[in-house]
A and B are shown apart, each in its own frame.
Chain A
Amino acid sequence: MPQMGFDMTEGTIAAWLKKEGDPVAKGEPIAEIETDKTTIQIESFSSGVLRKILAQAGQKVPVGQVIGIIAAPDEPIAGAPPSASPQSASQPAPEASKSNAAPQTEPRTQPAGAAPQIVHQGRIIATPVARRLAEERGIDLRYVKGTGPDGRITKADVEAFVPSSPAPVSKPTVSPVVKAPEPVPPPAPVAQAAAPAAPSVMQPLTRMRQTIAARMVASKQQVPHFYITVAVEMDAALALRAQINESLKPEGVKVSVNDMVIRAVALALRRFPNMNAAFTAEGIQRRDYVHVANAVTVEGGLVTVTVRDADKKTLKQISQEMAALAERARSNKMQPGDTGGQTFTISNLGMYNVENFIAIVNQPDAGILAVATATPTPVVRDGEIVIRTMMNMTLSGDHRLTDGAEGAQFINEIKRLLENPWSLVL
């Protein structure tokens, strides 16, 4: 069972995409795995024949346990290799080895495609602070190249690792109990009315709901929230959006209001580095990159998808990326890197016709922006009552990290950018 998320300890085989005896190419999807967050396709790390399926669809399997064996057609294989514990497994081993997969001889597999390279086989040599940092950031040290003596991973190696590749988030962590703030990629915190269940029926919590519950409780208990609301006049932005979409029509790209908000937020974050920081037990961690997460509603809950380096992307790029991310999220096809690693989060309920709402901070972010529905509203302009399309936004800030004054300036900068929308495209 491959580890497909830092907090994944087990997964359920949703479906096998290959049958025993089917030829398999390296990088080819072989099965769908359901985790607490999503359903993910796993790809073969090697070419051969799916000789044996050891975990059937619907079966729950701990991370690291062999679920199937891919080998050469004539290669002798053992019947059912004993499972490896997730702790001792030194690589994600999504299926099995080309050769006899005894537990001592770890399957020599390669990550598929552009997936991050596993650098360390066996015992990982890392300094204590590197280990601590990796755990805090949810980084699997197996993927981190060490520059110290004998390849020892140092703090700098872990720090250098983060902004580059789509982080192989990892490490089975303890169950999602309330913990010290840790930079985790959780589903976006959105206050959402759950579909009322039949009053007398007890519905077991899905993995997703358990995760959401733990994250939101932790945030509400640990983060001293404060809230600032502004009303943004969206007429100019909506007009510009119409123009842009007209010109992008041939390419099939359609910029949403939310894409503009992402862009505005990303630009504002560049000017307010503290709002782009993380609160950690050790102090305030400034980040020199801007990754904006967005809450996406999916069946049974919600997840966040992250637009990385949003401040360096054009509206068109953001729009395309968001569309793809949201599609993968809704169809349970999320890939590693689609979620988590954010520096700030946006929750947009504009499509649900809400006047205003407030969101729960997505730890360890400094804040989260709740975006409501843009709606024609009578406002006073130059002493006269006129109708403008107004959109309320509420910033929830972590008071340990920032204060009202900074929050007010920050949200007003977003407002300014949206009200002067050319700044979003220039």
Chain B
Amino acid sequence: MAEITYREALKRALREEMQRDPTVVIWGEDVVAYAGGGAYGVTSGLAKEFPGRVRDTPIAEEAIIGVGIGAAMGGMRPVCEIMTVNFTLVAWDQIVNHAAKQSHMFNGQIKVPMVIRTPNGHGRTAATHSQNFDAWFAHVPGLKVVAPSTPYDAKGLLKTSIRDDDPVVFLEHLQLYGTRGEVPDEEYLIPIGVSDYKRRGKDVTLVTWGRMTMESLKAARILAEEGIDVEIVDLRTLRPLDLSLALESVHKTNRVIVVEEGWRTAGLGAEIAASLQEMAFNDLDAPIARVAGLEVPMPYARNLERATLPFAEDVIAAVHAMMQKQY
């Protein structure tokens, strides 16, 4: 078992699925030529390995998604890369009105087996280029939404997403591409809609996903030295939402903090908190708390950007507040 990056894990998933199924293609902006393949290097080298199957497209996200939907309707399994999640806004009609609705509105006559790969994230790129739309996608029936936190999950989930017969929005994260983790050499799949314990503990349950899983793990290591034992549930899939482990965990710990990167109001954390209190009210020993991004358009300045985003120290502060009953 080798330790590889999140980026490399994604590429391996793409390669394996392209080898397996000739109808799998990769279309997106700068997935072939630019910097050897992909603005963030995920597809680098694949165009050479699979001639004619990895294609650069115009900068026209509505067409990248729309052409992908049509190709999926026509019998292919396109993986459409949208360079960053910010640009999906241009294609929102295609994603919500078409990808998500084809199957249901047309009574099962049409299916759309496509993957929309795109990274959330930030990196001193200011408001239009530093966003997180997890909650937006998770809101839409008909979409599946996946947000892996580790190289292992990224590979297994991307392979499953490509094989899935529904449109999958696959949310990567700019800050995770370079992170490393163990990934088996042999093939494996991770089912969509199944959450995962990333750490077992007894004192507080952190329900999280994506980059915040890693921040939560950092926080857990520090908290453990103080004798606070947190349990981390990584949702991995944001729609359909699997809260079974979160429920199991809160039954044990009686305390929950939902940790998300995006804006707090009407965020996914609000949905998770609401669902957990509906289903596990009698298990709660404290109000469900949320750690979330501050609700401002992301500023460029280093200190302001950092202040806007949640990090491990915010998780630690929230756990302290909960353990000290400051709520």
Could you tell me which A residues sit within 8 Å of B by CB distance?
Answer: 127-132, 147-149, 152, 154-156, 282
Cβ-defined partner of B284 (8 Å) among A129, A147, A149: A129
Evaluate whether A148 and B325 lie within 8 angstroms (CB atoms) in the complex, with A129-B254, A155-B254, A282-B251 already known: yes
| Interchain residue pairs with CB less than 8 A apart (16) | A127-B285, A128-B281, A128-B283, A128-B284, A129-B282, A129-B283, A129-B285, A132-B282, A147-B325, A148-B286, A148-B325, A149-B325, A154-B285, A154-B286, A154-B325, A155-B254
The digit string for B311-327, where 1 denotes a CB below 8 A from any CB of A, is 00000000000000111
Least CB distance from A264 to B in Å reads 35
CA distance A132 to B325 in the complex (A): 19
Shortest 4 CB-CB distances between A and B: which pairs?
A: A132-B282, A155-B285, A127-B285, A129-B285
Contacts of A156 in B (CB 8 A): 285
- Counting residue pairs across A and B whose Cβ atoms lie within 8 Å, the total is 32
Could you tell me which B residues sit within 8 Å of A by CB distance?
Answer: 251, 254, 281-286, 325-327
Contacts of B281 in A (CB 8 A): 128
Contacts of B326 in A (CB 8 A): 149
Contacts of B285 in A (CB 8 A): 127-130, 154-156
Contacts of A132 in B (CB 8 A): 282-283
CA distance A425 to B150 in the complex (A): 61
Contacts of A155 in B (CB 8 A): 254, 285
Contacts of A147 in B (CB 8 A): 325
Contacts of A130 in B (CB 8 A): 285
B327 touches A131 (CB 8 A): no
Of B251, B283, B285, B325, most A-chain CB atoms within 10 Å: B285
Residue of A nearest to B284 (CB): A128
Contacts of A149 in B (CB 8 A): 325-327
CA distance A366 to B325 in the complex (A): 35
CA distance A128 to B251 in the complex (A): 12
Residue of A nearest to B254 (CB): A129
CA distance A130 to B285 in the complex (A): 7
Contacts of B254 in A (CB 8 A): 127, 129, 155
A127 touches B251 (CB 8 A): no
CA distance A128 to B288 in the complex (A): 12
CA distance A147 to B286 in the complex (A): 12
A131 touches B325 (CB 8 A): no
CA distance A132 to B281 in the complex (A): 10
CA distance A156 to B286 in the complex (A): 11
Least CB distance from A5 to B in Å reads 24
Least CB distance from B188 to A in Å reads 32
CA distance A155 to B284 in the complex (A): 9
Least CB distance from A228 to B in Å reads 33
Contacts of A282 in B (CB 8 A): 251
Residue of B nearest to A154 (CB): B285
Residue of B nearest to A282 (CB): B251
Q: A128-B285, A149-B325, A154-B285 are in contact. List 17 more A-B contacts (CB 8 A).
A: A127-B254, A127-B284, A127-B285, A127-B286, A128-B283, A128-B284, A130-B285, A131-B282, A132-B283, A147-B325, A148-B286, A149-B327, A152-B325, A154-B286, A155-B285, A156-B285, A282-B251
CA distance A147 to B283 in the complex (A): 18
CA distance A246 to B175 in the complex (A): 82
Least CB distance from B248 to A in Å reads 11
CA distance A35 to B39 in the complex (A): 79
Residue of B nearest to A155 (CB): B285
CA distance A323 to B254 in the complex (A): 43
CA distance A282 to B254 in the complex (A): 13
CA distance A127 to B284 in the complex (A): 6
CA distance A202 to B327 in the complex (A): 60
CA distance A324 to B46 in the complex (A): 86
Contacts of A129 in B (CB 8 A): 254, 282-285
CA distance A148 to B285 in the complex (A): 10
Least CB distance from B63 to A in Å reads 51
CA distance A154 to B322 in the complex (A): 12
Contacts of B283 in A (CB 8 A): 128-129, 132
Residue of A nearest to B287 (CB): A127
Of B251, B284, B326, B327, most A-chain CB atoms within 10 Å: B284
Residue of A nearest to B327 (CB): A149
Contacts of A148 in B (CB 8 A): 286, 325
CA distance A129 to B282 in the complex (A): 5
Residue of A nearest to B250 (CB): A129
Residue of B nearest to A135 (CB): B282
Least CB distance from A282 to B in Å reads 7
CA distance A130 to B284 in the complex (A): 8
Contacts of A131 in B (CB 8 A): 282
Residue of B nearest to A146 (CB): B325
Least CB distance from A182 to B in Å reads 14
Contacts of A128 in B (CB 8 A): 281-285
Least CB distance from A400 to B in Å reads 19
CA distance A155 to B253 in the complex (A): 10
Contacts of B282 in A (CB 8 A): 128-129, 131-132
Residue of A nearest to B325 (CB): A148
Contacts of B286 in A (CB 8 A): 127, 148, 154
Least CB distance from B129 to A in Å reads 41
Least CB distance from A160 to B in Å reads 13
Contacts of A127 in B (CB 8 A): 254, 284-286
Contacts of B284 in A (CB 8 A): 127-129
Residue of B nearest to A152 (CB): B325
Residue of A nearest to B277 (CB): A128
CA distance A130 to B282 in the complex (A): 8
CA distance A142 to B249 in the complex (A): 29
Contacts of B251 in A (CB 8 A): 282
Of A128, A131, A149, most B-chain CB atoms within 10 Å: A128
CA distance A129 to B283 in the complex (A): 5
Least CB distance from A243 to B in Å reads 50
Least CB distance from B325 to A in Å reads 5
Contacts of A154 in B (CB 8 A): 285-286, 325
